[in-house]
C-alpha cells in the first residue's frame, strides 16, 4: 500500500518529473523524496503539464517561497544527495525557490547541473539571467550551480535507458 511514511533505502539514483508551478506537485515532491533517504544522484525534470491545471491551483511566488521556508528537512537532500541535475529548467521563480531550498540544506552536494529547456537556449538574455541567479545561490558545500545551455537528449529517451543496469547513471545527459 502506498504511503508517505514508506522508506526505500536501497535507491541510489532517482529521477522524477514535477511541475514547480503546481503547489500540490511540489508538496508531493517533498513527501516523495522523504521515501528515499539514501539517494546519491537526483534527476528532476521541470515540466509544465498542459492547461489542465485550474488557475486556483497555481500558487503565487510568495506562497511557493513560504512553502519551502516552512517544509521540514528532507533527509536525502540534507545528508546524501551528491549530484543533482535539473532538466528542462525554464528559469521560473518557483524553480529558483526549490534550488534555494537545496542550496541551504544540501550538506553533501558536490555538483548541481541545470539544463535549460531547449526554447530558452536561443535567448542570450535568458541564459545570462539564469546564470546570474544561479551564481547568487550560496551552497553550504561551497559549490556553485553549473548552467548547461546545450540541448540534451529528450528526457523520455533517457527514461528508456533506465533499464540498463550496467550504467552507473542511466539518466545521465
pLDDT of residue 76: 86
CA dist., res. 30 & res. 68, Å (int): 9
CATH code of residue 28:
3.80.10
Residues 105-124, mean pLDDT to the nearest whole number: 80
The pLDDT confidence band at residue 59, using thresholds 50, 70 and 90, is low
pLDDT of residue 104: 87
**Residue 150 included in any domain:** yes
CA dist., res. 169 & res. 143, Å (int): 21
Listed residue (126, 54, 52) closest to 95, CA to CA: 126
CA dist., res. 172 & res. 158, Å (int): 8
**Residue 65 included in any domain:** yes
72: its cell numbers: 521540514
Predicted TM-score of the model (pTM): 0.77
Give the domain extent around 133.
13-49+56-161
Q: Comparing 2-16, 20-34, 146-160, which segment has the lowest mean pLDDT?
A: 146-160
**Residue 168 included in any domain:** no
Place of cell 517561497: 65
pLDDT of residue 35: 92
**Residue 152 included in any domain:** yes
Place of cell 521540514: 72
pLDDT of residue 90: 87
Residues 7-30, mean pLDDT to the nearest whole number: 91
Q: How many domains are there within the chain? A: 1
Amino acid at each position: 500500500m502506498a504511503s508517505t511514511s514508506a522508506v526505500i533505502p536501497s535507491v541510489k539514483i532517482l529521477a522524477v518529473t514535477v511541475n514547480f508551478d503546481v503547489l500540490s506537485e511540489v508538496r508531493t515532491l517533498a513527501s516523495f523524496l522523504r521515501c528515499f533517504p539514501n539517494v546519491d544522484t537526483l534527476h528532476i525534470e521541470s515540466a509544465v503539464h498542459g492547461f489542465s491545471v485550474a488557475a486556483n491551483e497555481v500558487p503565487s511566488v510568495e506562497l511557493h517561497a513560504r512553502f519551502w521556508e516552512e517544509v521540514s528537512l528532507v533527509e536525502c537532500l540534507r545528508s546524501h544527495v551528491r549530484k543533482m541535475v535539473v532538466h528542462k529548467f525554464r528559469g521560473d521563480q518557483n524553480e529558483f525557490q526549490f534550488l534555494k531550498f537545496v542550496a541551504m540544506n544540501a550538506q553533501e552536494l558536490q555538483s548541481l547541473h541545470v539544463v535549460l529547456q531547449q526554447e530558452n537556449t536561443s535567448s542570450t538574455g535568458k541564459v545570462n539571467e539564469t546564470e546570474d541567479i544561479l551564481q547568487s545561490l550560496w551552497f553550504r558545500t561551497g559549490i556553485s550551480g553549473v548552467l548547461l545551455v546545450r540541448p540534451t537528449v529528450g528526457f523520455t529517451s533517457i527514461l528508456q535507458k533506465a533499464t540498463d543496469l550496467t550504467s552507473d547513471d542511466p539518466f545521465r545527459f
